[in-house]
Structure 1
C-alpha cells in the first residue's frame, strides 16, 4: 500500500511535503490508509494527483509534465519519477486520461475508438483446477504458505546477508578513507595533495607485493632528512693516499741492522749507552771552544779529542746522519696522515652522509694503526741512534694497506654518488616519499588486520551471493508459475464477454438497456472491435452523462481481465460522476460499493477485500454524502480509512486532512459557515487569504440558506434582503449597511468595477464576520454551538 506522497513539482502541486502538511490536531502525521476519500472543488488538483498514480500504472510521465518530481512512499519501497518501471505495485486508475486512452470514441466520436479487452469466459473445470493448484502452490505471505511466503523469507535473508556484507565492507572502506584523508593526506612530509581511498587501495596493492620491504626506523629518519635536503654543490675534493712506509721500511731496516765498530773503542762508553749519548751530545759543545768541562769545570785531557774521534768514527757519523734522514721521512709521513682526509659529512647528502661517516671512521682506525707502525719504526731508529754500535730489531707492522686503500676508494665512490645525486635529487625525494608512505600504509593495514577483514568480507559476500541466488531462483519460479497462470487464463479469455460485462453493469446498476457496448468482428473477421450501439444501431451524439456511465462501467469490467483479476490492486477512481443526475450518482456509488468496496465474508466469518488499497476523489457533495456510507475497512485488522481535502491556494494545490464538517456532516451549509468563521480574525489572512476573497459570496449564500428556514414565507416584499433586515433589525444601521454592502460590493463588481482592482479590506471583512456571528449566537446559541461543533471548533460560552 501507499502511505505518503511528496511532490516537488507536478502540475498545480509545488513543494508538497507530506510530513509537514498532513498532521492532525495532536501534531501526528496521518498517512494514506486502505480506503481513502478525497474531496476538492473543480480545478483544485484532484485529477493532477490521480495522474501521479496513473504514471505508476503506465510507467510514463504524462505529456506536458516535463521536469516533474515526486516520490510515492509505500510498503514495497519508494517510487520516484525516474523509477516508474518495475516498482512492484499493481495500480489501476480511472480518470480522464484513462478515458482518453481507452475510450477515445467518447471524446472524439468521428475518429475515436474503444479498445477491446477480454475477461475470463465460461468456466473450464480442467483449467480451473490447474489454476487453483498453481494458486495453492504460489500461496501468499498472509497465509504463511507457498512460494510467495518462501520468497518473502528468502528476501529477508537476502537483505540481511546483503546488509551484513555492506556493513562490513563499508566499515573497512571508512577506515581506509579516514586514514587516506585524515592521516596520509594531512602529512605533508609524504602525503600528496590529492590522495583518496582509491590511492590507498593502490598503495595496499604495492605493499602486498613480495618485493616490498618496509623501512626501518633509522631508514625512515634518513628518508625524512633527505626530504629536507636542499641541492648541494659538487664535492671537488677526493681522497688520495700514497703510503710511503714501504720505501721508508727498506731504508730503516738497513739502518737498524747495519754493523759498525769504533777505531779505538772506549769500553766505558760501549758499556753505558746513556753515557755514550751524553758524550756525543757534548762534543759539539766543547770542541774547539773550551779546555775545561762545562759540567765539572775540570781541565780536559789534551788528547781527549783524538780519543773521542777514534771512538766516534766516520762510519758511525754516517749512520747517525742516515738515521736522522730516515727519522725526518717518518715524521713527514706521520704528519701527512692527518691530511689524507679533510672532508666532513656536511658536504654530503643525507643518504651518503651515513656511509661517509662509517668509511671515514674505518679509514681513521686504519690510519691510526698505520701511524702507530710509523711511531714504532721511529722509536726503533731512535734507539739505534742512541746505540750506534748495537743493531736494533725491526718492529712488526700491524697496519693493512689494502684496507686503507679500500676505505679511500669507498669515500671517493661516495663523493661521486653524492655529486650525481644533485641531478636526481627530486627523483630521489619522490622515491623517499613513496617509501615513507608505503611503510605507513603497511603499518596501518597491519593495525586494522586488513587481510583478516578481507577474508571475513569475502565470506559475507559469498553468503550474500548465495542468498541472492536463492531469492532470484525462487522469484524466477514464481514468475514461471504466474506465466502459466496467464497462459491458462488466456485459454479462457473472451473479448465478447468483456463487452457483455459492460452491458450487464449498465443495465443492472443504471437501467440502460438501450445503450450497449457490442463486440463486432472486423471486415476480415480476424479481430474484434468494440462499438457503442443504441437500439441495435451505431450510437453517436452521446450525452456527457452517457459517456461517463459507459466509461466507468468499462473500467469496472476491465478489472476482471486476466492482467488484473486475482491481483492485489491499488485502485484510484477520480471523479466518476461527471454530468450525472442525482439518481445516477447514487447508482454510481452503489456500483463502487457492490463490486469494489464491500468486503467478502470468509467461511470463518472474517472479511477480505477485493482491493489492496482504494482511492476515490470527487468534487460533488452529493456523491461525497453517499461515500460516507461506503464500507470502511476495520482500522485494527484491515488498514482503516482516511479522508482528505484537496485545495488550491493561489496557484498551488495542497492536500490536508478533511475537516469534520465535510467528513461528518457533508453539507455546503456547514462549509459556508466555516469560511465565514475563518474571517473572524484579521490574522487568518496571513495563513490563507482565500476565505477573505470569497467572503462576499460565501456570506450571501449562507445567509440566504440560514434565513430561508427562519423566514420561509416568500413574496415580493420578503426577498433575501428583507429577511436580513428582519433578522438583524430594521432599525440597526449596521444591518442596513450590511445589506447594502452585500448587494452592491461584497458579492458584485459590475456597479463598482474599480473595487476589483483594489486590495481586499481585511479589517472591514473581519468586522462584518464578527457582527454576523455574534448576531446568530445571540439569537440562537444552541444552533450556533452546533454549527461550531460541525466544523470542529469548541463551543462558545459568552
Structure 2
C-alpha cells in the first residue's frame, strides 16, 4: 500500500522563481493547495512548457486552464476556436462507421477476454512465489534462529530472504555441527587466542636405576656373630630402623629395654650391614626420588592443562583419566616408602604410561579444537564470510526441491503469458487500424454545434442571463459571445468571463481541435478555476472538475475497465478551501492514485509538502495514508466541544464530529455505524450500588444516534432526539463511550489533549 501509482508525468523538477531544486513525483490525481502567490501557477506553467518534466509528453495533449487560457480565448475582439463533436451526418457513412465499431467492439471483447486471462495468469507468479516463500521460511526457521548474524538485512522479509536463496548458484549440504562450531567462533564475542594443552612423556619406570631392587629382598651378608644372630631372628630391618631412629638420642642405653649398651655397640651394629646392603639401600632411595620427581612433573603438567580456559572443550574424560593416574602415583609412592622402610620386602609398582598415552590422545583432540578456534580468530572476517556462504548454501540445499518446482512452474506460466501478450498485441494492432478508419469517416460527419448548445445550456442552468455563445457569422468554425439582441457581449464581469472560459475548457477536454484531428489521451491542469465566481458557479465548476477527475480515476480502478480513460493525469491547484474540499473529499481514501500537496512560501522561498502520514487510528496503522491540508475546521469543532456549556450547542458539535470522523473520514454508513456501536452495549451500562443495571447511557446513545443520522443518512426510524433534554455532562460521557465502543479511545484522547 505504500507504493503510489505512476502516471504519465513521473516527476517534475522545480528550480526557478521561488522554487529551489525541488522534485515532486505526482501520481494519477494530484491536488495542490496554497495561498495566492505561493507558486501554484509556476507548476502549471512548467507542465505547459514541459520544462523539468519527466518523461517528455509528446504522446499526450496537455490542456491547461489558467489565466493565460482565459486571456487567449475570451476576447471581445476575436472568436473562440470551435470544439468539434459528433453530429448527424450521411446515413451511409454512419452505417459504415457503425459496422466498423461493431468489429472494433468485437476486437475489444476478445482483447478483454485475453486481458482477463492474462491478468489471472499474471497473478500466478506471485502466488507461486508466495508459496515458495512460505515453504522456504518454514524449512529454514531453525537456521534463522540459530545463525542470525549470517543473515543480516535478510531475515526481516520473506521475499528478501528467498531472493537470497534463489541467488545461490551451487547449493551444498554441510555438517550442521561443524557449522555451529564455526559460527560460534567466527561471530562470538570471545576473540581470545587460547594456549594449547601440553602433552606429557611416559615415565618408563623400568628404565630408572634401582627398578630391579623393588622385587628383591635386600639383606646383609656380614658374618659376625651379632649379624648372624639378627639374621637368624629376622630382625635386620627392625635393628636398622631402630638404630636410625634412636641412635642420636638413646645415649648409652637401649631405647627399648633401657639396659646399658656395650661400649662397642656401634661397631657391632656397623658390622651387621655390609657395603652391598648399603649400596642397594642408596639405590632404592635414588629410585624413589627420581620416580617421584618424574611423576610429579607429569601430574603437574596435566593439572595445569585442566585449568585451560577454552570454553568449548569438555574436560570430563580428561579429568577422569588424570584422577586415575594420580591415584596410581600416590599408591606407588606409598609402596616405595614401605620398601625403603623394609628393604627385605618385595614390591610391585604400577606404570601409568598407558594412562598417559590415553590422556595424550585426549589432549590431541582438545588441541585440535583450540587450533581451529585460533585459526578462525586470526582470520575472523574471512571465516565469517566462509560461515555465511556455507550456511546459505546449506539452506538452499534444504529447499532445493521447492525451488526447482517453483522455477519449472514459473517457466510454464511465463510461456503462457508471452503467448497471450502476442495475441493481445495483434488485437491492439487490428483495433488501431479500425480506429484509424473510423476516425477518417467521423471527420466527415462532425461539427461544433453540439458544444455550443451544451455551453449555452450550462449558462442558462447556472442563472447567467443576457448573453450566450453562437457561431461567428464570418467564420462558422469559431464561437463568439453575444447579447440577446445579437450584439457583441462587451463588459462581461470577471466571474462571467471565467465561467464561460471554464465551460469552453471543459468541452475542449472532451472534444477535438478540428474535424479531422485525432483524439489523443490528455493531461489536464486546472489552476484556480473559481476566481471571482459566485457560489452557484463554483458549485457547477466543482461538479465538472469532479467529472474530469472521475474520468482520470478510471485509469487507476480495475472496476472501471470499460469506462472512458482518456484523461491520463490531472492536476488541480487552488487557494480556495471550499473548492478544494468540494473536488477532493471523496478521493482522500484512494492513497494509491491520489496525492495531496500543501504549498507554502517563506522568505520568498516556496516549499511543497506531500500530505501523507501513518494514522494509528486507521484500519491499517502501519501504512501511509493521505490527509487533506485543509484541516482546521475539524480541530475547531473539538475546541468548541471543550469550551461549550450549552447542551443544545454541545449536541450539534457532537453530531458534526461524529459525522465527519466516522462517516466522512472512516467511511461508515449511518446504519452500520449505529449497529456497530450498539453491539457494544456493555460499554454504556453502569451498575448501581445495589448491583442492578443502570442503562441510562445506553438509552442516551440510542437517542443520540437517531439524532445524528436523522437528516443525512436516512436511518431514522421515527424516534427523535429532543435538544436540551440532557445535561452537558451526560452528553460528553455518552460521546466518549461511543469512541470506546468504536475502539477509537486514542483518537478521542489525542483530540481532547490537542484542543485544550
Could you say which TM-score interval applies, normalised by the shorter chain? 0.3 to 0.5
TM-score by length of 2: 0.40
With a CA cutoff of 8 Å and minimum separation of 6, indicate the structure with the bigger relative contact order: 2
Q: Which has the larger radius of gyration?
A: 1
TM-score by length of 1: 0.39
